[in-house]
Structure formats: structure tokens, C-alpha cells
A and B are shown apart, each in its own frame.
Chain A
């Protein structure tokens, strides 16, 4: 969507072009909604952190692994997009699943869905944010799967995947390094 399309003096785009540009607008709007979701959690985190019962936790080692997995998956999806080979999407999908596995492992090492969750507010936030991020990533995994099956272009999934990678790095910094 450009300033030109906002004023619509020109002939409408072809149907395929219109579909493509509508997809971009819709995706951008959806991503803004995701930004607002994580912004809200951020606000809550910053407020809650000032509580007297706050006990900061160290970042578990395994989260380095998961982070590298996700960064790697962004590389593979980019290679796949540039070369146009859909095989790369399945590799990305595999890396995404490995990421989720590491996340589950990290959470269970830290205490999982047990007393720890209730006792340490920092862990409560870690749990909730990892969960919310993982759910969004699952949407991306579904998208990867469908895109690898279909014969059409790559569509929204590449942008979305990069975006969820960035969100993860943001979450990591917020939770442990801020």
C-alpha cells in the first residue's frame, strides 16, 4: 500500500496483485496487534518487577540453544525464499519444532507447572511469555506446513516467521537482560 494506492487515481490492480497487496496490509495489521499484545505483557512485567517479592532468576543455558535454533531457522527460511525451493520450509519447520522442544525443556527444568510457577513471580512471567510466544510460533509452523504443500508462492509465512524470531529475542532480553 503506497500513497498512490491511498488516493486510487489509477486503474485497479490485477486481481492477483490486489490479493497480494491485501495480504500485506492484513499481515501488517495483524503483526501490529501482536506487538500490542507483547507490549502489554511488557508493561505488566515492568510494573510487577517492582514488587517486594521479586526474586530474579538466571537464564537457563538451554535457552541459548533454542535461540540459536530459531536464528538458524530464519536463515533456512530465507535461503528457501531466495532459491524458491520448498524443501527449505520443511527444514525450517524442523528447527521450529526443535525450538519448541527446548522451550518446554527449559520450563520444566525451572520447575514446570508446579509450585514454582506460583511461588516465583519472575517464573510466572517466563512461563506465560514463553507460552504465548510458542502459541504464535505454532501458527507459523502450521503456515510452513501448508505452504510447503501448496504450489503457490511463499505468502505471509516468511515475514511472519522472521517476525516471531525477533519477538523471541525481544522476550529474552526483556526477561533476563533488562
Chain B
């Protein structure tokens, strides 16, 4: 395998590397860079919302900001950071392989992602500005080039960037799936895989099966935009000046169905690896095997399956037949069953744990509470009757920021603190890490919980100046600047993280092979893990992934005293 010929030139070692660890770090850095952009967009949005009279942006560019913030955060930060970043770093180490199944494809997938990022960012600078149809790209705004300024070149670039993203993400998913299913070391049965790697497997399956729906929708959208077809465009659309458009018979609802067939599973692509990271951290810092390994695995599989048949809960207000709505309500609420099992297993894993409250563990505990609270909001949105009121309100914005925003970001940070010693060879600073935790979790929870209240008070999402409407509740309105202050505080708090990471790369305390006393295979490789991961033979697995027994803590590759498996 590639183990034998280690790359020597700068280009082959750091730029066009085939090594899963280098590629993982490339993805993580790119994702963090995109997170800064996504965050700055969020701050601009918050400034406009709190002080609309200052008109920092126009109504049209506000839509672009919201669209690009959502797109960047969902696909280019969380998907890329958690799945492509941590997936690359950890999958081969977790299964006991020297690299991914297809190292060349892996390198290619990163270098397809780079132009995707550049196109996305570049679309801000073209005529008309960036896409403005929301991260959901609903037609007609996304299908008619003249609908709003962002519907022009910006939307075209958005579609191309997303196409590249899907190509790259599919290549990645094929690699993760094949590596996990087929490149496991001796003794590593599926039921001995770390839970995080199970979540990567499920994300990969979802990626492979659900993204094609968006690809197909994007192809048809491009034809509607550039060839005048009417896949998604109905008859009778009217433009001032142009008059009635010639389109006939298409239906924007079709696009919504195709989009959410991807869109809903996609949120599990984001959230499941976050929960996987949490399982790894609480095992190591709670010094016990996570509660209910098998039920967690089966529940994950259930969630993955159910996630593919619930998409209509995003469309309750689209005029769908109430009987179909009822179906989507029921299956949506059904997901809470396996999901609660996972959540309870997370909480159960704290029972009788010997918790060491170091930085990664704090973030992991944060994930559990965010998932609990965010999940509660989901019940109201999954029930068609209450969603009629909450749909497109700030209740929704608060809900998905707690779940796919807070859960994922906390896990991203927790994961970085947890595996930093493995890949950099040094620990991050504890005091700075803990400071960063409190500076992150307090504003995040406050901000997104208050958004729920605003939604109950009738404030609508994607509006650039809510003061122009008289119906929202006055005290809900009064929260606007406070949420913005919290957002600025949150952003400022991240400077502590940036400083900690950069400082620790050079000055952090040197780390041993297994600084946390964890049991999965990556901790049996040197820190930082070398090319090929293990200097001599790959480990052979004898034990369950979390063997924190009463007689001691055993890594997966330790044989029993009696020598049996």
C-alpha cells in the first residue's frame, strides 16, 4: 500500500497529498475558513435586523446574505468539517487501515471542493450579487434570471458550486463507505467499530442515496434557467415590463419535494457525526463504555431509513393534501423514537461515569443539552397543526440553529480539542479551552432560545426589516438588539479558540500517544500519526471499542491475559 512510498516533495506531501490525515486537515482548515465567512455574514444579518433604520444592506442583498450564510454553514462548514474533515482524519485509524480505500479519489475530492468554495465566494462579486433564493433555492426566484438581482449570475454560480460540492462529497462518501465496510483490520467486526465510525458510515450512505435528488433538481433548474423549459415554472407568471411569461404547466412544488428529499437526510449527515464525536468523548472522559452500544447502532440505522421518508414536514403549508400532511407528521414524530434512544443512551452513559470535566468533555455535555432542547422544538414543527403557525417564523430559525447549528458546532470544537494531540502532537491549553467553552455555549443557547420566543411572537424569517410590520408582539421585537449583542459576543469569543489553536500548535504541551487514556485504535498510533498510521504492523482487534472494565482500561488491540479474543 502507499505506506511504502512516503511522499517527499512539498507538493505531494502537503498540497496534492493522498494521505487521509493531510486531506482531513486540509478539509478542516477550509471548513474553519468558510466558517469565518459564514459567521461574518451572520453578523451582518444580525446588524441589519437589530438596527434596520441604518440600512447597512439593501433588501435584495439581505436575501443574498441569508442565502449564502445558510448554504455556507450547512454544506461548506458543517458537512465539510464534520464529515469530510473528521471522517478523513479518523476512519482509517478507527478501522485499522493505513489509508482510505481510494487515496487518489480522496485527493481529487478535496481539489474539487476547493473550486466549489471559490465559486461560492466569488458569486458575491458578480453582477447582481450572490444567489438570493434561500439555501433551499426554491423556484421561481431561483429559476427566473430576472426575478431579483441575485437570480442572475449569482444563482448560476450557486448551482455550479453546489454541483461541484455534490461531486466532491459523493467521491468522499464512496471512500468512507468502502473503507469502513471493506478495509477493516483483522478482528474488527462491524459491532466492534467505534460509534463515531458508525455515524460516518450512515452519513456516507445518506450522501450516496440522497444527494442525487438534488443533482437531478439542479439539472432541471439549469434547463429552466437557460433553455426556457418549464420543469418547475407554472403558467401565468407576470413581470412588469415583460408581461406574462410563456412558461406552461410546471410546478415549483416538484422542486420543493426534490430539494427536501435531500434536505432532510442532509440534516442527519450534519447531526449524526456530531453525536458520534460526543459518544467518543464521553467514553474517554467518563471512563465507561457508552450505554447501549447495540441499541445505538440499530437506532442510527432506523434514523437513517426514516430520514428518507419524512421530507414533507418542510412543506405542510404548501397546500398539500392534509392526509399526506398527516402521514408526514406521523413518520416525523416516529423518528423521535430511535432518536430518543440515542439521546437517552448518551445521558445513560453519564450514569456512574467518572467524569473528568476537561475541555472536550464540556463540549460533549454541551452537545447533549443542545440536542435535548433543540429536539423539543422539533416536536412542534413536526406536528402539522402547530407548524401551520410556526412555519417560516423565527421559531424555525431558533430550532434549526440549536440542532444543526449548536449541536454541530459544539461537536466540531469538542472534536478539535479531543483529537488535536493525536494529529498535532501537542495538547491545547485547558484554561483557554474552558474559557472558550463558556464564551460559546452561553451566547449560543441564549440567542437561539430567544429566537424561539420571537417566532412565537410572530416574527417572520428572511425579512430584512421586521419593524415595517405591525403584527409581531412588541416584546418579541424588543429582543432583536439583544440577540445581536449575543451574536457579536459569540463571534468575539471565538478569538480565544483561534489563539488557543495557533498557540498550541507551536507551544502546546507535548502529548503522549494516548493522552486521554482512550481505547479506540487511533490512540495506539504515535502522536502525530505518521504516514501509514502505524510504524510497524497494523493493529489486530481483540476487544470491544470501549473496554473500560473494572479490571482496567484496555485498548482494542490488547489481547486478554488468556490470549483469547
Contacts and interface: CB of A to CB of B under 8 A. Distances in A.
A in complex with B:
yes
Given A8-B184, A37-B216, A53 B248 contact: yes
> Interface extent on A, as a size class?
35 or more
A29 interface: yes
Given A21-B182, A22-B183, A40-B216, A30 B254 contact: no
Contacts of A41: 216
Interface in A14-43: 15, 18, 21-22, 25-26, 29-30, 32-34, 36-37, 39-41, 43
A178 interface: no
Interface string B218-232: 011001000111110
B102 interface: yes
Interface string B137-163: 000000000000000000000000000
B186 to A, nearest CB: 5
B254 A44 contact: yes
Q: Is the interface of A mostly helix, strand, loop or mixed?
A: helix
B186 A12 contact: yes
Contacts of B219: 128, 132
A6 interface: yes
B174 A29 contact: yes
Interface stretch (B204-212, B438-446, B526-534): B204-212
Contacts of A29: 173-174, 177-178, 208
Interface in A39-55: 39-41, 43-44, 47-48, 51-54
A121 B212 contact: no
A30 B105 CA distance: 13
B212 A124 contact: no
B383 interface: no
A83 interface: no
A154 to B, nearest CB: 18
A1 interface: yes
A8 to B, nearest CB: 5
B348 interface: no
A51 B251 contact: yes
Contacts of B216: 37, 40-41, 44
A98 interface: no
> Interface extent on B, as a size class?
35 or more
A8 B189 contact: yes
B230 A121 contact: yes
Given A44-B220, A128-B223, A8 B186 contact: yes
A121 B248 CA distance: 9
Nearest to B187: A8
Given A25-B181, A29-B174, A44 B188 contact: no
B178 A26 contact: yes
A26 B187 contact: no
A37 B223 contact: no
A18 B183 contact: yes
Contact of B258 (A9, A40, A121): A40
A36 to B, nearest CB: 4
Contacts of A39: 212
Given A8-B187, A54-B249, A48 B254 contact: yes
Contacts of A48: 231, 249-251, 254
Contacts of B208: 29-30, 32-33, 36
Contacts of A118: 227-230, 246
A5 interface: yes
Contacts of B254: 44, 47-48
Interface of A: 1, 5-12, 15, 18, 21-22, 25-26, 29-30, 32-34, 36-37, 39-41, 43-44, 47-48, 51-54, 113, 115, 117-118, 121, 124, 127-128, 132
Interface of B: 1, 101-102, 170, 173-175, 177-178, 181-190, 208-213, 215-217, 219-220, 223, 227-231, 235, 246, 248-251, 254, 257-258, 261
7 contacts: A7-B189, A22-B102, A22-B182, A30-B174, A44-B220, A48-B249, A118-B230
